[in-house]
Structure 1
């Protein structure tokens, strides 16, 4: 807390002095907690102007297009680190030494298996269930396998919980896919990398050997890194809200997955591919561009612009390069990808897009990559959940490490009926 003070003056003569908190970077925050004693609340739909916590994990400057994890720029992390190195950084605050990275990777690999009983849990779902519905269910079910053994007030318990979640999410995600196709589940292979193992569990079968393509493996690793954390977004805030009640951490992550499922959040890359399929062919692009520019038309171009970034999404630049690497490696050339590439060209050159800062975002490119790799559109948000799990865990862990948090209890501006009598009805 700084020496800065803010004064709130109401036109009825009431006046309140409020403290101001200053972070390392970014905006200052006015502490409005004292207002409640005077029967005043702040009104902030969507909490767009409210800092709900203090955090040292991720910093975003949307105006400048900056994303830092523990002070490190996201593009440098994506180019120079693997996903587990970034995961360690998010969880523990500093990048690992080579020895710590080796031991951390080994520890993760030792926890990749899920309980055999959990494999039978899948049989309760229809084969055509949306994978995110299944993911919500099976991740929440982990709470039943790790319930009595977890004391969230115990730091060592929190550490092993973080390891278990990080290790098992790729296994669960791949099982969701395999179940939808009717293929057998593939056990994790601990000699493979985190991303390589995930691709193996997704696409290998017992019938023949499967060799992980290193270009696709690195692309998947970058997708995981670029989606690992994004500050206090809807799903992360949901995890923190659930955790504030002392809930089982696996249940908290399941709550985060449920929040992520929405098309305005994690489902954006799925919505982007659906849009590309709606456009269909390159010759129809001008029609949809015109519709996007028409304020009276409800059509919106998905995968362009960002709620936070008013500049180029720093993750999108890395994802763009990776996208072209994957397409080149696979030699993919479909109408859908032709539409995507032409839309990208227009967005980067059209004055309207530039003026309105409608740059292609990370969802635009990640969707194209996932589609090219062979991951079905219905699995896109599951990929996001898998990558974001480490961010959720890091915030959950930070929250308990800081201590002193309160159960989340937003207030409301009541606009309903005033008190009125309820008289007994004469029944017919």
Structure 2
């Protein structure tokens, strides 16, 4: 038995390949480097090809789905955390297996997250606009303003980058649920529950907490050294799979550059992050030479989402916006090609004592 199912192959998939040794992510035969300049709708079409009869105008169909799910916003409970609130609203979507259900599930976090955030800020939710792309519409529902092309492209880059990533905990959860014959809503809700855990989807926020605590690039090295001496974990560094730099970190760092050049993101904030990254990598290499600890996707995710106006409390919700398309693809793949997932366990408890 391997704890955590380490190195256990539980499924064959055409959807994504995570090469932790080479630091490479391939989605449906396309490297992340080549895919990251696409719109999220294009990544969705790639992931869903062969699992649904896709319309010629998938962006238009997704825009219509955003309009359809907006009707549920009236049931929002703004006293809940954003992730709990979107989970409750997503549960209102009927549990089907068709394209319409899939589109509504992708639309759900995109519509519900801005609505919840606005309600919590004392503002009214804004309806989607069908004339905008998916990323741009998310941002206008959040801020009430049409985003710049650079801002929309940055959010697209994030959504594409996190759209699928092998058999991670939430995706495996989605496949287990789909293998029982349950519908897509059940699979997505289960996956969202797994993503909510801080060991999976909850780490980008603490990256910003770390940057705030460090304050200046000059303070990075002593702060990090003290943290490592205490045995603290550095947020944004190290990954269960990658033995080298996470390729998604570079994709998101690149997505920040146009925003920095245009002044739409605080250049001093980016400079602080780069200084912290440099200091952290040097200290990790020196203090933990036997462990491959490099920059992961969470480090630049935090900066990018902060620059786009999302609060830390909603970072898991934005992750959900991107990953839902991948969850659905895996659920469909499992339902059409797999069996009921039913592993064995090894009993290590006490045995009943036989009577004398």
When the two structures are superposed, what TM-score results if normalisation uses the length of structure 1?
0.76
Query: Deviation of residue 101 (structure 1)?
Result: 8.0
Q: Counterpart of 1:106?
A: 60
Q: Secondary structure at the match of 1:68?
A: strand
Aligned equivalents of 2:300, 2:30: Cα separation in 1: 22
Q: Counterpart of 1:118?
A: 72
Query: Deviation of residue 298 (structure 1)?
Result: 2.5
Instruction: Pick one of 311, 318, 329 that aligns with 1:376.
Output: 311
Instruction: Pick one of 45, 62, 83 that aligns with 1:88.
Output: 45
Aligned equivalents of 2:59, 2:265: Cα separation in 1: 33
Instruction: Pick one of 48, 52, 67 that aligns with 2:10.
Output: 52
Aligned equivalents of 2:272, 2:137: Cα separation in 1: 32
Which deviations, in whole Å up to 9, do the C-alpha atoms of 1:262-288 show, x marking residues without a partner? 221111212222222233343432223
Aligned equivalents of 1:182, 1:71: Cα separation in 2: 45
Deviates more, 1:248-257 or 1:323-332: 323-332
Aligned equivalents of 1:330, 1:376: Cα separation in 2: 20
Aligned equivalents of 1:90, 1:68: Cα separation in 2: 11
**Distance 1:73-1:115 versus aligned 2 partners, 3 A rule:** closer
Residue 73 (structure 1) aligned with residue 31 (structure 2): yes
Aligned equivalents of 2:36, 2:309: Cα separation in 1: 22
Partners of 1:135 and 1:173 within 8 A in 2:
yes
Aligned equivalents of 2:263, 2:56: Cα separation in 1: 31
Alignment of 1:164-243 (within 5 A): 164-204=104-144, 210-243=145-178
Q: Secondary structure at the match of 2:128?
A: coil
**Distance 1:266-1:218 versus aligned 2 partners, 3 A rule:** same
Partners of 1:353 and 1:359 within 8 A in 2:
no
Aligned equivalents of 1:108, 1:413: Cα separation in 2: 45
Residue 160 (structure 1) aligned with residue 100 (structure 2): yes
Partners of 1:228 and 1:387 within 8 A in 2:
yes
Instruction: Pick one of 191, 196, 216 that aligns with 1:256.
Output: 191
Q: Counterpart of 2:21?
A: 63
**Distance 1:319-1:235 versus aligned 2 partners, 3 A rule:** same
Q: Which runs of 4+ in 1 moved over 6 A?
A: none
Aligned equivalents of 1:93, 1:420: Cα separation in 2: 56
Q: Counterpart of 1:9?
A: none
Higher-Rg structure is 1
Query: Deviation of residue 73 (structure 1)?
Result: 0.4
Instruction: Pick one of 127, 140, 150 that aligns with 2:91.
Output: 140
Aligned equivalents of 2:268, 2:198: Cα separation in 1: 24
Instruction: Pick one of 287, 297, 301 that aligns with 1:366.
Output: 301
Query: Deviation of residue 374 (structure 1)?
Result: 1.8
**Distance 1:354-1:325 versus aligned 2 partners, 3 A rule:** farther
Aligned equivalents of 1:322, 1:378: Cα separation in 2: 22
- Unmatched 5+ stretches in structure 2: none
Q: Secondary structure at the match of 2:57?
A: helix
Query: Deviation of residue 375 (structure 1)?
Result: 1.0
**Distance 1:116-1:73 versus aligned 2 partners, 3 A rule:** closer
Partners of 1:175 and 1:185 within 8 A in 2:
yes
Partners of 2:102 and 2:328 within 8 A in 1:
yes
**Distance 1:335-1:239 versus aligned 2 partners, 3 A rule:** same
Query: Deviation of residue 117 (structure 1)?
Result: 5.8
Partners of 1:227 and 1:388 within 8 A in 2:
yes
Q: Secondary structure at the match of 2:18?
A: strand
Aligned equivalents of 1:65, 1:45: Cα separation in 2: 24
Aligned equivalents of 1:319, 1:63: Cα separation in 2: 20
Aligned equivalents of 2:162, 2:174: Cα separation in 1: 16
Q: Secondary structure at the match of 1:111?
A: helix
Q: Aligned-pair RMSD on alpha carbons?
A: 2.6
**Distance 1:270-1:306 versus aligned 2 partners, 3 A rule:** same
Structure with the greater relative contact order (CA < 8 A, sep ≥ 6): 1 or 2?
2
When the two structures are superposed, what TM-score results if normalisation uses the length of structure 2?
0.90
Aligned equivalents of 1:309, 1:238: Cα separation in 2: 21
